[in-house]
């Protein structure tokens, strides 16, 4: 007859370790970083556009030009979010081939940041 202590010492099957695909994890992290950056640039762009309207600079020639630039930047942000959605929908084997899409997103985000920074400089000078 087995003692109660013997019953508790039964051998358990070893736990299986989870296998992590590092390439997939890197790709997901890269996509999340681009999405976070897109959201941050969008927020900066929206704030700049709001300040342009609140200060009344939108009614000047220079302000109208900056407003058009910021609206173009908003179109860039929409394009980037569309590119990132397309990348997220790619099947796993093709996700590594998204370099061209990432490059286009990078260029659009850089251009958008430049446009928002220019607006910030003009508004800072106008105070």
* Mean local confidence (pLDDT), 54-75: 91
Cα of 29 vs its chain's centroid, Å: 10
How does pLDDT run across 3-44, given as a tens digit for each residue? Answer: 555 555 666 767 788 887 788 888 889 999 999 999 999 998
pLDDT of residue 78: 94
How does pLDDT run across 106-125, given as a tens digit for each residue? Answer: 999 999 988 888 887 877 77
Cα of 73 vs its chain's centroid, Å: 15
Q: What are the residue ranges of helices labelled H in 1-97?
A: 4-8, 22-55, 61-89, 92-95
């Amino acid at each position: 007859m087995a003692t109660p202590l013997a019953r508790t010492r039964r051998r358990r099957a070893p736990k299986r370790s989870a296998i992590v695909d590092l390439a997939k994890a890197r790709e997901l992290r890269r996509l999340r970083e681009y999405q976070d950056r897109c959201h941050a640039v969008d927020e900066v762009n929206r704030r700049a556009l709001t300040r342009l309207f609140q200060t009344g600079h939108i009614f000047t020639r220079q302000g109208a030009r900056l407003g058009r630039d910021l609206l173009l930047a908003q179109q860039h942000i929409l394009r980037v979010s569309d590119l990132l959605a397309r990348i997220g929908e790619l099947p796993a084997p093709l996700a590594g081939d998204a370099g061209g899409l990432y490059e286009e997103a990078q260029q659009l985000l850089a251009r958008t940041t430049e446009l928002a920074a220019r607006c910030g400089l003009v508004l800072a000078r106008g105070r």
